[in-house]
Amino acid sequence: MQSKRPIPPYRIKMVEPIRIIDRKEREKKLIEAGYNPFKLHSEDVFIDLLTDSGTGAMSHFQWAALMKGDEAYAGSSSFFRLEKVVQAITGYLYVMPAHQGRGAEQVVIPALVKHPGMVFFSNIHFDTTRAHVELSGARAIDVVIPECFELDHYHPFKGNFDLVELEKQINAVKAENVAGIIMTITNNSAGGEPVSLENMKGVRKLAQAYHIPVIIDGARYAENAYFIKQREEAYRDCSIREIAKWQFDQGDIFLMSAKKDGLVNMGGLIAIKNDRHLFELCQTRIVPMEGFPTYGGLAGRDMEAMAVGLEEALDLDYLTYRIAECEYLGNRLLEAKIPIQTPVGGHAVFVDCGAMCPQIPYDQFPAQAVCNALYLEGGIRAVEIGSLLLGRDPDTSQNRQADREFMRLTIPRRTYTLEHLDYVADCLISVYQKRHELKGLAFEYESPILRHFTARFRVVT
């Protein structure tokens, strides 16, 4: 009889010891960190669900590929191997590596801003994307479907653009003032929710009608392709690689943090379909910011590992288990009546801490309070994806209010077992039972950009 528990399509070849410090010590460490899990030392964390960015395990094929790294400053053979893989997957002509996704953003996004007051549209801009848009003098406007934040309402593609609203917004600001449309796949801030291929085609059609470039923020493009295969009838019998290629057909530019679906600990990508002028402009920009265009801030061995990882991430067996382990944790929480985004997305479980702790106002960051409580309960580190991450309005300096105050339980790839996830569920259930005792947070230090990374807090009494 087949087990209902998902079975990983790999076996463990090397282990890393982890330890849990006692609760009294955790209380001390959290105070020292200013009630900000980002500032905890990793050795003081038992299970680390802060991010899936660069925290996964590489395969033995990737570790072997490291030994082939060509560390030439210019024209590294490792680059040309990576370039060939990226071109084959995306169909894009021009490829440059970057040290990670935000390195790619800092090169490309300002290059698209032709004059002050331009805007970027996205299904939802994630944190560094929004920061780079605003640092470039542009504005970030989110145009996601209204079903996105109806947590109990089933929609197979909650990451979709609202196409009617998108066209309305384009006309409102005038097309010549739109620097680009950023398709985030999967849609991280929405709960790791996918975008349908038909929706992507709709965005592409609008963009072409108004002569607007389309940027695919594809850190989790393989996971998005898996959801399309599972949930979009027309593509059920297609391979992940075929669906991935059709996704890229809908864009002009591809930006990637390869620390997700590249299955590496460090690396990013810029790929441009066929715009030679933009490629040359980005080449000029990448040299002072990241490095020579054939290494872009990476060692040759990093590029070798990425070339292998990009292929591995398209494996159907790997993706089936990857999505199943997220769903497994989500189902444990749903059984305990903990409010989460449903259906569960591709890389994390998103807990609705606003609903969980209605006594905490949005500008006292209920999800941050729950993250801290979860660390105290079991040494588990999670991350806030709510009003803290959203930051302040650049015009008014007022705290922006997120649609949902999410805590993200982010599952690193090929790293933790289901026993670890059961422990996470048990600890969060314990926190949930004491949720009415939790209190909000106030700033002791707040940086002007990407404040959630470095802020320090005090508990509101």
**Catalytic machinery residues:** 73, 126-127, 217, 219, 260, 452
Can you tell me the distance from the alpha carbon of 438 to that of 222, in angstroms, rounded to the nearest whole number?
38
If you write DSSP's letter for every residue of 366-417 in order, what string do you get? HHHHHHHHHHHHHSEE-EEESHHHH-B-TTT-PBPPPSS-EEEEE--TTT--
How far is C-alpha 67 from the geometric centre of its chain's CA atoms? 29
Can you tell me the distance from the alpha carbon of 326 to that of 151, in angstroms, rounded to the nearest whole number?
16
Beta-carbon count within 10 A of 436 CB: 9
- Structure tokens given for 412: 């690193």
Can you tell me the distance from the alpha carbon of 417 to that of 46, in angstroms, rounded to the nearest whole number?
13
How far is C-alpha 239 from the geometric centre of its chain's CA atoms? 23
- Structure tokens given for 384: 């806030």
Helix/strand/coil percent split, the chain, to 5: 45, 15, 40
Sole residue written with tokens 């005090």: 458
**Dihedral (Cα; 443, 448, 453, 456), 10-degree rounding:** -20
Can you tell me the distance from the alpha carbon of 97 to that of 93, in angstroms, rounded to the nearest whole number?
13
Beta-carbon count within 10 A of 390 CB: 22
Beta-carbon count within 10 A of 5 CB: 9
How far is C-alpha 347 from the geometric centre of its chain's CA atoms? 8
**What 8-state DSSP symbol labels residue 181?**
E
Can you tell me the distance from the alpha carbon of 455 to that of 213, in angstroms, rounded to the nearest whole number?
35
Number of helices followed by number of strands (H, E) in the chain: 17, 14
Start-end of H helices in 18-100? 23-32, 60-66, 77-90
Residue closest to 195 by CA, chosen among 203, 133, 108: 203
